[in-house]
Amino acid sequence: MADRGIVERDGFELEWVREGSGTPLMVIGAHRFYPRYFPQSLRDHFEIVFCDLRQWVPTPDGFDVSTITRETFSEDIEAVRQAAGFDRPIVAGHSQHGSLALVYAQRFPEHARGVAAVAPVPPSRTAEWFEARDEFFRRDADADRLAAHERNQAKRPAAVETAQDFIDAYVADSARCWYDPTFNCSELWEGVDVNLQVMGQVWAPAVLGGYTVEESGIPVFLALGRYDYLVPYTAWDDAVQRLANVHVKLYDRSAHQPPYEQPEEFSADLVAWAAAL
């Protein structure tokens, strides 16, 4: 069985790489970023395929990114699943990719053993939701974190016009997305391509700007960070009621990054949850 490959979809070349052995696990998102992000110990328990989605590879000439929908991403994931030779893997994703993993499982329930969603973007985000999130940050964060945020934001690019601007802006948001508000995550981004045009479409109504979580019996492992100020743990209080088979874990020394910030605990939790499927 191949250890890596490229799946061509509408001219987008989605690269994937296989690591480890055990229960099949697909980690969707940038295939260079997430092998560094998820605990190395998972390779002892899972056969993992890390794969790109369209926001992490160049757009082919002439392609209209506004045509990309939730179904597009789901069909891309399905194409990679088939190419990798997986039957019913656990589908995992972090942040926007956690939401896309949930969307995929709703579209192809027969091909998903379960979903591991790490700090996924919640459905039905509105202007009021963003205001509540920002208010939660101002109210909940301590003085040191708020001060670090002010210092970090002074280094933030004035506009995000290039891939490096996107990365620099993410690094400058450390106080909201890392338990250590001074952490510099630049090394995780080395060699990672960012397609800004597709990234913008990810938040359009046709994709995550309009997705919902439907009532479903698909097993879901929902990993949330207590100090996540990008996706506050409370943001899932309502939506989680529509998941009939969900295990929620709140990591008390994590922000938006539980697999990286509490790797041993996260790995043990995921292994135990997967073994019970």
Give the model confidence (pLDDT) of 92-114 as tens digits. 999 999 999 999 999 999 999 99
Give the whole-angstrom CA distance, residue 217 versus residue 135.
34
Give the CA distances from residue 7 to residues 23, 31, 50, 70, in Å, rounded to whole numbers and listed in that order: 22, 13, 13, 18
CA 156 to chain centre: 22
Q: Average pLDDT for residues 75-103, to the nearest whole number?
A: 97
Residue 231 contacts by C-beta under 8 Å, 6 or more apart in sequence?
95, 119, 120, 121, 122, 133, 224, 256
CB 102 within 8 A of CB 75: no
> Element (H or E) spanning 26, and its range?
strand 23-28
Q: Average pLDDT for residues 266-277, to the nearest whole number?
A: 97
Average per-residue pLDDT for the chain? 95
Give the whole-angstrom CA distance, residue 35 versus residue 37.
5
pLDDT band at 155 (very low <50, low <70, confident <90, very high): confident
**3-class DSSP state of 10:** coil
pLDDT at 1 over 70: no
User: What is the pTM assigned to this prediction?
Assistant: 0.95
Structure tokens at 10: 């509408």
pLDDT at 167: 94
CA-based end-to-end distance of the chain = 25
pLDDT, greater one: 239 or 37:
37
pLDDT at 127: 74
CB 246 within 8 A of CB 272: no
Q: What single letter denotes the amino acid at residue 125? A: R
pLDDT at 2 over 80: no
Give the whole-angstrom CA distance, residue 116 versus residue 46.
13
pLDDT at 192 over 70: yes
pLDDT at 49: 98
Domains in the chain, CATH or no CATH each: 4-126+193-275 (3.40.50.1820), 127-189 (no CATH)
